[in-house]
Amino acid sequence: MDWLTYEKQANSEGYQVVCGVDEAGRGPLAGPVYAAAVILPPGAVIDGVNDSKKLSEKKREALFPIICERALSFCVASASETEIDEMNILNATFLAMKRAVEGLSISAEAALIDGNRLPALSIPARSIVKGDSLSMSIACASILAKVSRDHFMYELDQAYPQYQFAKHKGYGTKLHMEHIREYGPCPAHRKTFLKKF
In a domain, 178, yes or no: no
CATH of the domain at 118: 3.30.420.10
DSSP letter assigned to residue 122: S
In a domain, 67, yes or no: yes
Length of the chain as a residue count = 197
Count of domains observed in the chain: 1
Give the pLDDT confidence score for residue 9 in this predicted structure. Answer: 96
| Greatest pairwise CA separation for the chain in angstroms | 57
Strand-strand pairing, 18-24 and 33-39: antiparallel
Classify burial at 194, counting beta carbons within 10 Å of its beta carbon; exposed 0-12, middle 13-18, buried 19 or more. middle
In a domain, 197, yes or no: no
Classify burial at 47, counting beta carbons within 10 Å of its beta carbon; exposed 0-12, middle 13-18, buried 19 or more. exposed
Give the pLDDT confidence score for residue 164 in this predicted structure. Answer: 97
In a domain, 137, yes or no: yes
In a domain, 164, yes or no: no
Give the pLDDT confidence score for residue 195 in this predicted structure. Answer: 83
Kindly list the averaged pLDDT for each block of 10 residues, start to end, along the chain of length 197.
Answer: 93 97 97 98 95 94 98 98 97 98 98 97 97 97 98 98 97 96 96 85
Give the pLDDT confidence score for residue 72 in this predicted structure. Answer: 98
CA dihedral sign of residues 160, 165, 171, 172: negative
pTM of the model: 0.96
Give the pLDDT confidence score for residue 64 in this predicted structure. Answer: 98
In a domain, 159, yes or no: no
In a domain, 167, yes or no: no
In a domain, 92, yes or no: yes
Give the pLDDT confidence score for residue 197 in this predicted structure. Answer: 63
Q: Which amino acid is at 62?
A: A
Domain that holds residue 96: 5-149
DSSP letter assigned to residue 74: E
Distance CA 156, CA 30 (A): 10
